[in-house]
Amino acid sequence: MSDSSSVANGPKSEIYEALTSIRLIDPHSHINPHSPASTTLADLLGYHYYTELAHSAGMPKSRIEDEAIGPKELVERLVGGLQPLENTAQYSWLIEICRTFFGFEDDRLHLNNWEALYDRSESIMASAQWSETVLDQSNVQAVFLTNDFDDALEGFDTDTYIPCLRTDDLVFHLAKPEVRGRLAACTGIELDGSLESLRSSLKQRFEHFVRRGARACAISIPPTFTPTPVGDGRASTALNAVLQKGISADASHLEALSRRVFWTLAELCDEFGLPFDLMIGVNRQVYPEGVFQGQDLYDSRVSLIQYRELFNSFPNVKFPISVLASVTNQELVSYAWIFPNVITNGHWWYSNTPSFIARDSAARLEAVPQTKQIGYYSDAYKLEFIWPKFDMYRKVLSGVLADQFVGDRGWSIERAVELGRRVLRDNVDEVFPRPEGAEASIAPEEITGVVGVATAVAGVTEVLQVDALPAEEEVQELGVDDVELSDTPEPTGTSADELETLVEDETLDVGNLLDEDEPTAQITPLRGETSFNPDDDSLQLQSDPTTGEFTLPVSDSDSDDTLEISPSEDDSPAEKTDPTAETVQELEEFDLEFLDDDEESK
Amino acid sequence: MSDSSSVANGPKSEIYEALTSIRLIDPHSHINPHSPASTTLADLLGYHYYTELAHSAGMPKSRIEDEAIGPKELVERLVGGLQPLENTAQYSWLIEICRTFFGFEDDRLHLNNWEALYDRSESIMASAQWSETVLDQSNVQAVFLTNDFDDALEGFDTDTYIPCLRTDDLVFHLAKPEVRGRLAACTGIELDGSLESLRSSLKQRFEHFVRRGARACAISIPPTFTPTPVGDGRASTALNAVLQKGISADASHLEALSRRVFWTLAELCDEFGLPFDLMIGVNRQVYPEGVFQGQDLYDSRVSLIQYRELFNSFPNVKFPISVLASVTNQELVSYAWIFPNVITNGHWWYSNTPSFIARDSAARLEAVPQTKQIGYYSDAYKLEFIWPKFDMYRKVLSGVLADQFVGDRGWSIERAVELGRRVLRDNVDEVFPRPEGAEASIAPEEITGVVGVATAVAGVTEVLQVDALPAEEEVQELGVDDVELSDTPEPTGTSADELETLVEDETLDVGNLLDEDEPTAQITPLRGETSFNPDDDSLQLQSDPTTGEFTLPVSDSDSDDTLEISPSEDDSPAEKTDPTAETVQELEEFDLEFLDDDEESK
Amino acid sequence: MSDSSSVANGPKSEIYEALTSIRLIDPHSHINPHSPASTTLADLLGYHYYTELAHSAGMPKSRIEDEAIGPKELVERLVGGLQPLENTAQYSWLIEICRTFFGFEDDRLHLNNWEALYDRSESIMASAQWSETVLDQSNVQAVFLTNDFDDALEGFDTDTYIPCLRTDDLVFHLAKPEVRGRLAACTGIELDGSLESLRSSLKQRFEHFVRRGARACAISIPPTFTPTPVGDGRASTALNAVLQKGISADASHLEALSRRVFWTLAELCDEFGLPFDLMIGVNRQVYPEGVFQGQDLYDSRVSLIQYRELFNSFPNVKFPISVLASVTNQELVSYAWIFPNVITNGHWWYSNTPSFIARDSAARLEAVPQTKQIGYYSDAYKLEFIWPKFDMYRKVLSGVLADQFVGDRGWSIERAVELGRRVLRDNVDEVFPRPEGAEASIAPEEITGVVGVATAVAGVTEVLQVDALPAEEEVQELGVDDVELSDTPEPTGTSADELETLVEDETLDVGNLLDEDEPTAQITPLRGETSFNPDDDSLQLQSDPTTGEFTLPVSDSDSDDTLEISPSEDDSPAEKTDPTAETVQELEEFDLEFLDDDEESK
């Protein structure tokens, strides 16, 4: 699946080929595990990179965010606005997806060729195993998620979709009643003004996440924030002010509470052995009239010196750090070179284009211990983007290795590839080990998440279980009004057993994917394809055209629009009572399924 | 005229050749339309880049800025100080000018070869059509100017020399009595303490500039400035304080008035449809003992977040933005990627050297919509510099396109050239359209500004008209004492009719230069020259050796040193009364003609 | 000795070869002139780059800084922790040293090959002429030092080891009683609260240093510091507050005194004609738990605008400037382009890796007058590091010259080499001339510091004299308790005469090393070796295995552990009384000989 045409022959090409054979774990994404892949091109073109760039190039927001637009109409509109973006790296991701996954053969997507692609891709994506196919074609073993703190983390295979506790809301928005409401609902602990209640509820979240296999705590941080400890007295005052006045509390109280919560999270990372991913530098809503998720920018005047006390105070917490601006990269290099607990992490967002990656990765590779560099993460919202984004990185990395290690330093190709493998894959395993205390994944491990490329077969028992019992997110996605969650389990119409008859029962031997010491055998296309052209016979399973999943039949007993969800085994009762009325309502106001991730969770 | 010797063969070379054939519009310069080209090497070597670099390398300021030095003496002195600069990109511009326009064949300019070059170039520049020759050889169709707010904008072809309203004085120096005096003089509106008088006078300037074809409002801004609106009450207080105390007013009043004026200018840009060029980051007079125009530096700690409110408040105003420091380039890329009204603009001043251009342009080309990038402007003070500066940019651009688009992304040469054309030329047309309400240019359009390369012929009626009636700037350049301008038109000695007999009356068909939809045919040297070697026979017209123009005979009636200038048709009477006594006096104290541009208008 | 294997053929290779033949003066190092070269691998691996990177990669500080570890044990420990650093540029310096000086033939140093290297290198380093051999093999003529303000500057050849006055302690730590004690002790002037006493003592240090051949005053500065003058009244208040309260004085007083001392130093640089090296941007002890010298980091948000007043106030003082962060490099380029007294200086510390050097040096070479660029300095603590560090720079420089001057600008190879020579060597001579008033070096000049490569011969009279009478530092290195220094000279056991019989008496003609106008003949290995493999017969002289020098026999009269040191001729008596009791005690607490440089003098 390598695109060797655009890589010159020689060491760069050889290194690139070797790197593409490395099976990946993507250490940061925004994948929704209940709907990991796309169902139509609208899921791809709806990615904020395209909406915001098209908007920036002149397309009115109303053309994109009109609730009444169907996915096909939306794609037509966006395609009509793509021409100004054809130079961008982001556009090249899109074309590469279309060529790699949908047999697209053109260089550009335009109003004369989009519809055939739309239809063809829709039928391909309708495969019940589409997510698995994408993962496999992309040579991806597992994907880290970005989970809201009150995510139940149920209904998906946590070995393939690895939970991460995202804490922006807790640190920066605890003053909002709805956030406190969510926290109380999922923990069963009401903030009563005592610091104990605050710590207990946060700790309960760590227990929940670690039990479900979470491998990181994560947060994005504005450039103005400086994490320092807050004494109990000050913190108590701040907490009580916030409990009384919410977001109207004095800014100094809001800020003190933020720092206290942040510091407590760091303590809990220490206690639970979780790395604390810091994504430093984003200013939210700089452009409030921008499109969804296209409103955030930054002030590059930030320094890691602001984290001095944090790094010193938590020597046993690993801090994988992403910086938004390339001008902060040298500081990141220097701090990772000195502090044992500082790790360089990927190329984030506005620095995730080739020229910034090239200069930033070169600086890291020559000065940070090789064991302390997480080369890349996709940040993707849909699985299809993992491939082109990692491939962009692999090409840049190959160039740096070829020029600066093989060329300038006389390394062998093999040694260069060894370094590439370390930053691409090995360090992910080592920096983010499975925490002690995690329960086994629900899914039977021997049949997890991988299917052959050219044969649409699978044993996706676990996925089917998900669909049988919808997760909270899925309920919300359906936009059902007045959802009431109860503790009473009740079978719904589609069972795993019924669906099993629809799929072939042959499962592929894909090796022991969980044994990190054993190199995973590379999956080879059966007929030696370099791209994937599914035949129609393989695609008989019909999925919901909107969600890409098996449809969720509304139970007959749901005449009052109440869905009843089975309780999970491992959480406090509060987690299953109705925490989300407000959230559901908010989401309903914004009905684009492919856009409904939390804008602050990027 | 391409210098292909220094461009490797292959895609880069092919792209470069294609880009050199694109006829340019230079979207920002400091060209004086009444004296656009040089007359001696002193005009070239007097460029602040050479004086400041020579000074930095050890030449005393007094060696350069002694009023008594004639142009030839000055050139000798500067040539004696050039050796330390031979490594600089700026030096390469100079050598390229000498080789391209004056048949210079050496690599270095030194005390053993400068004089022959001086003499030869002087005779070449003496051509009456020298400006047109330079434009033509440089493949330049038109040039944006930088006009003081009280510029009459008369006496030149505004299709070739496109006015731009420069507003530094209004925003940052309105506390100076002379600036307020100039404003009152040119508008006929006295600031009376009311915000209405302030707005009216500013609006009058927009009306004047737009009527004369201005295509942009522009300003350079210190890194500390943050434009935000100022309420009427606060603004009124500030205005009155400044009217009473001038520059002695409290700093908070000066700052509030600056922000109020700036905001009003943005409102007027919105109203008149003018783009607002922002050149962000310069600190003026950091080195007050530096040479003229070699005193300004910067603090790279500036952020576009300071412009957040401005960009949000004026969605319909285009903001082409230049940043002084390359470390701000990523912010510019990101803001242009998100904000529809933010446009990347050129490579300014301290970032205008190849390595900064390479990294900054690469970052833009891969992430900003291609329609939102103004690739380059010359910032030149004399026409001769447009060629080498743009050529430096073209070479870097060709390299980026060849490496990162043809190489890394597999683009065709044609597609890469298409992108190059867009940022080099097409976007200039689209971002800076001729505003509605502009009057037709005074000059007969069919004979505007272009002549054949090897035949020194022209029909430069308009230019001759300029010389017949000197513009205010020209009067000042002559250093005449106690100039008094009156409303009474009075013919002076040299008329256009008389001069017409001196030039051949054949005009070249150069196509319709105003039709932007029709690709301009490339001018081909008649004998296939790659550089220009004028023969002496072509250069019979003798011009003033100091100004390069036909001399301005002082009228016999001027025994009391009073020049009488004809009124223009379109402006308020106040514009023609004596606004400039102070300015004239200031300029007289500084008598180097080639150096007398406003130091703050860079 | 060129490592051409890793440099591609073509212009880069040709330029590189030419640059390696240039005999260097290293304009900034931390070499201890009394022990300039290493004696075991522990001296090399003990360099903070390896200890801090190994620590960063996981090695506990206690494994490295345990006082009980002998040098061989330490090397074994560190070698065991090197694997994670194999990608770093710093690691490549180490391997290059081992290959160049010790005949090492592997690419990596590991637990299976370190011991043979240790033993072999130890015997090689045991040569009495090891320092001279290293200098010669490295093609280095002289090395600038970093001397504490109270350094006696005795006992070494100041033509080879050129003193520089380091002033961090004076500016930033004068509030510490021990610093004031040292100042009083070495000057004989007690700070009595008068500004005169402050100035006199500082001036006395300049007199001392200049007399001993110092060529620069130097200081490293935190990013928050802004040097501005402090009026006498304010300064007097601050001085008296500090004299009374020491480091407990109010922060405003400490800061005012710092600025006053700094300004006075600048005045003295002006008076004595010394360049003032500014190393801008370091925050000390950001990571206090880091290993020795591995605790300092920075805030890249610093601007040279903070130095505006300094640069304007001292037009006759040369300020060679190092910036810690590459993001400040463009400011440095711009300020050097404008200010005659600002000079770019090397690539410092966290910017001293290839990719930062490449971009920073390219920006300088294209915009700063070539006479105002000090290309590189080693910053080394041991002579062996000069070669690989300069070689890293030469390779990068060759690439920039080949690509951007020969390639893009059409320069000849010769012209490119000429530019390289200027920044590598010529500018060191011109920017840092020997000050007027310096006394002749003590050492006989005709036999200074250079010996043949493959023949272990020398006439190192001066070095032997040093050993005969130990310098203060040497005494401290021996860790002798309760040392008491007296004025009484007393011969010790090993005299130069005795030792002379051990060495061959043939001295090599190495040309007039002091005549900078005459190119120094390049030393050619006698048998055409490309690396140095000493035969055992050449190494009959046995040196102290710990210090690499002739052992210092404790005089028989020293039964009370009192060493008596001869007075120097040129300093005030105070300098020889016991100023160092505290210092000796401090050093004893930290017994690693190879680590005992002042951590703040980097």
Residues from chain C that touch B301, judged by Cβ atoms under 8 A, are 301, 303
- 3 state SS of A598: coil
Closest chain B residue to the Cα of A354, Cα to Cα: B366
pLDDT tens track for B191-244: 999 999 999 999 999 999 999 999 999 999 999 999 999 999 999 999 999 999
Helices (H) and strands (E) in chain C, counts: 23, 11
Distances (CA, A) of B460 to B138, B464, B505, C323: 18, 6, 10, 54
A408–C87 CB contact, under 8 Å = no
pLDDT of residue C439: 80
Closest chain C residue to the Cα of A370, Cα to Cα: C84
B366–A350 CB contact, under 8 Å = no
Read off φ and ψ for residue A329, nearest 5 degrees. Answer: -60, -40
Q: Pick from C6, C52, C84: which is nearest to A338 by CB?
A: C52
Least confident of C213-227, C375-389, C499-513: C499-513
Under 8 Å CB-to-CB from B173, ≥6 apart: which residues?
B179, B600
Q: Pick from B287, B353, B395: which is nearest to C367 by CB?
A: B353
Q: Match 């743009």 to its residue by tokens.
A: B390
3-state secondary structure B354-386: HHHHHHHHHHHHCCCCHHHEECCCCCCCCHHHH
Residues from chain B that touch A2, judged by Cβ atoms under 8 A, are none
Could you tell me whether strands A319-323 and B24-26 are parallel, antiparallel, or unpaired per DSSP bridges? Answer: unpaired
C289–A312 CB contact, under 8 Å = yes
Residues from chain B that touch C359, judged by Cβ atoms under 8 A, are 355, 359
CA dist A258 and A169 (Å) reads 10
- 3 state SS of B409: coil
3-state class percentages of chain C: helix first, strand second, coil last, to nearest 5: 45, 5, 45
Stretch B176-197: mean pLDDT, rounded? 97
Measure A89 CA to nearest chain B CA, in Å: 5
Dihedral sign from CA coordinates of B279, B280, B283, B287: negative
Could you tell me whether strands B276-280 and B319-323 are parallel, antiparallel, or unpaired per DSSP bridges? Answer: parallel
Residue A178 in tokens: 């709805």
Residues from chain A that touch C57, judged by Cβ atoms under 8 A, are 340, 369, 371-372
Residues of chain C whose beta carbon is less than 8 angstroms from a beta carbon of chain B are 301, 303-305, 308, 311-312, 315, 327-328, 330-331, 333-340, 359, 362-363, 365-372, 404-405, 407-411, 415, 419
B305–A290 CB contact, under 8 Å = no
CA dist B330 and B356 (Å) reads 12
Q: Pick from B53, B287, B355: which is nearest to C362 by CB?
A: B355
> What strands, in cross-sheet order, belong to the sheet with B140-144?
B24-26, B140-144, B161-162
C331–B300 CB contact, under 8 Å = yes
Q: Pick from C312, C408, C409: which is nearest to B289 by CB?
A: C312
pLDDT tens track for C97-141: 999 999 999 999 999 999 999 999 999 999 999 999 999 999 999
Under 8 Å CB-to-CB from C210, ≥6 apart: which residues?
C272, C274, C435, C437, C438
Q: What is the residue-averaged pLDDT of chain C? A: 81
The reply to whether the predicted model has a pTM over 0.90 is: no
Residue A42 in tokens: 């609208």
With 0-12 CB in 10 A as exposed, 13-18 as middle and 19+ as buried, what is C558? middle
Closest chain A residue to the Cα of C283, Cα to Cα: A305
Dihedral sign from CA coordinates of C19, C24, C25, C31: positive
Could you tell me whether strands A342-345 and C276-280 are parallel, antiparallel, or unpaired per DSSP bridges? Answer: unpaired
Asked if pLDDT for residue C508 goes beyond 60, the answer is no
Residue A311 in tokens: 């790094």
Q: What is the dihedral of CA C190, C195, C200, C203, to 10 degrees?
A: 130
A56–B336 CB contact, under 8 Å = yes
Question: What is the number of residues in chain B?
Answer: 602
pLDDT of residue A240: 98
Angle, helices A114-125/A71-80, rounded to nearest 10 degrees: 140
C305–B299 CB contact, under 8 Å = yes
Angle, helices A386-400/A130-137, rounded to nearest 10 degrees: 10
Which DSSP helix (H) or strand (E) runs through C26?
strand C24-26
Residues of chain C whose beta carbon is less than 8 angstroms from a beta carbon of chain A are 3, 5-8, 52-53, 55-58, 84-90, 92, 107, 283, 286-290, 294-295, 297-301, 325-327, 350-351, 353-356, 359, 395
pLDDT tens track for B56-84: 999 999 999 988 999 999 999 999 999 99
- 3 state SS of A394: helix
Residue C510 in tokens: 């190495």
CA dist C53 and A82 (Å) reads 47
Least confident of A550-554, B109-113, C578-582: A550-554
Under 8 Å CB-to-CB from B261, ≥6 apart: which residues?
B167, B170, B171, B174, B198, B202
pLDDT of residue A440: 72
CA dist B233 and B219 (Å) reads 25
> Which is higher by pLDDT, A81 or B552?
A81
Confidence of residue B182 (pLDDT cuts 50, 70, 90): very high
Residues from chain A that touch C60, judged by Cβ atoms under 8 A, are none
Asked if pLDDT for residue C517 goes beyond 50, the answer is no
Read off φ and ψ for residue B547, nearest 5 degrees. Answer: -100, -15
pLDDT of residue A479: 43
Task: Assess contact for A191 and A183: CB atoms under 8 A.
Answer: yes
Residues from chain A that touch C356, judged by Cβ atoms under 8 A, are 330, 363
Asked if pLDDT for residue C285 goes beyond 60, the answer is yes
Q: Pick from A367, A411, A415: which is nearest to C88 by CB?
A: A367
Residues from chain B that touch A58, judged by Cβ atoms under 8 A, are 340, 371
CB neighbour burial string for C104-142, b if at least 16 within 10 angstroms, e if fewer: beeeebeeeebeebbebbbebbbbbbbbbbbbbbbbbbb
Residues from chain B that touch C363, judged by Cβ atoms under 8 A, are 353, 355-356
Helices (H) and strands (E) in chain A, counts: 23, 11
Residues from chain C that touch A416, judged by Cβ atoms under 8 A, are none
Could you tell me whether strands A282-283 and B164-166 are parallel, antiparallel, or unpaired per DSSP bridges? Answer: unpaired
Confidence of residue B494 (pLDDT cuts 50, 70, 90): very low
pLDDT of residue B439: 80
C315–B52 CB contact, under 8 Å = no
Measure C404 CA to nearest chain B CA, in Å: 9
Under 8 Å CB-to-CB from C237, ≥6 apart: which residues?
C253, C256
Stretch C530-535: mean pLDDT, rounded? 40
Residues of chain B whose beta carbon is less than 8 angstroms from a beta carbon of chain A are 301, 303-305, 308, 311-312, 315, 327-328, 330-331, 333-340, 359, 362-363, 365-372, 404-405, 407-411, 415, 419
Stretch C51-60: mean pLDDT, rounded? 97
Instruction: Please identify every stretch of chain A with a pLDDT value under 70, giving residue numbers as ranges.
Output: 1-9, 441-602
Residue B18 in tokens: 């294609």
Task: Assess contact for A337 and A290: CB atoms under 8 A.
Answer: no
Residue A113 DSSP class: T
pLDDT of residue C416: 98
Amino acid code (one letter) for A196? E
CA dist C549 and C130 (Å) reads 9
CA atoms within 13 A on the CB side of B14: 13
- 3 state SS of B578: coil
Closest chain C residue to the Cα of A333, Cα to Cα: C350
Closest chain B residue to the Cα of A9, Cα to Cα: B407
ipTM, 2 decimals?
A: 0.77
Residues from chain C that touch B295, judged by Cβ atoms under 8 A, are 338
pLDDT of residue A441: 64
pLDDT of residue B436: 79
Closest chain B residue to the Cα of C307, Cα to Cα: B286
Asked if pLDDT for residue B147 goes beyond 80, the answer is yes
Residues from chain A that touch C281, judged by Cβ atoms under 8 A, are none
> Which is higher by pLDDT, A572 or B373?
B373
Asked if pLDDT for residue B548 goes beyond 80, the answer is no
Task: Please tell me which chains touch A, using 3 or more CB pairs under 8 Å as the contact test.
Answer: B, C
pLDDT of residue C522: 43
C338–B52 CB contact, under 8 Å = yes
CA dist A143 and A378 (Å) reads 9
pLDDT of residue A439: 80
A86–B370 CB contact, under 8 Å = yes
Read off φ and ψ for residue B374, nearest 5 degrees. Answer: -90, 110
Residue C407 DSSP class: I
Residues from chain A that touch B415, judged by Cβ atoms under 8 A, are 107
Measure B328 CA to nearest chain A CA, in Å: 8
CA neighbor of A397 nearest in space, from A20, A10, A5: A20
Could you tell me whether strands C282-283 and C297-298 are parallel, antiparallel, or unpaired per DSSP bridges? Answer: antiparallel
> Which is higher by pLDDT, C450 or B398?
B398
Which DSSP helix (H) or strand (E) runs through A423?
none
Kindly report the number of other CB atoms within 10 A of residue B454's CB atom.
16
Task: Assess contact for C187 and C246: CB atoms under 8 A.
Answer: no
CA dist A473 and A382 (Å) reads 16
Residues from chain C that touch A365, judged by Cβ atoms under 8 A, are 87
Residues from chain A that touch B411, judged by Cβ atoms under 8 A, are 107
pLDDT of residue A561: 40
CA dist A89 and A81 (Å) reads 16
Dihedral sign from CA coordinates of B250, B255, B258, B260: negative
Kindly report the number of other CB atoms within 10 A of residue C192's CB atom.
11
Residue C75 in tokens: 């090397």
Measure C298 CA to nearest chain B CA, in Å: 15
Which residue blocks in B282-376 are alpha helix, DSSP H? Answer: 308-313, 329-338, 354-365
CA dist C223 and C306 (Å) reads 9
Task: Assess contact for C14 and C405: CB atoms under 8 A.
Answer: no
Residue B357 in tokens: 């251009």
- 3 state SS of B216: strand
Which DSSP helix (H) or strand (E) runs through A90?
helix A89-102
Task: Assess contact for C191 and C176: CB atoms under 8 A.
Answer: no
Least confident of A101-115, C4-18, C207-221, C248-262: C4-18
Most B CBs within 10 A among A7, A56, A283, A396, hence the mutation to make, goes to A56
Confidence of residue C8 (pLDDT cuts 50, 70, 90): low
Asked if pLDDT for residue C478 goes beyond 60, the answer is no
Measure B333 CA to nearest chain C CA, in Å: 17
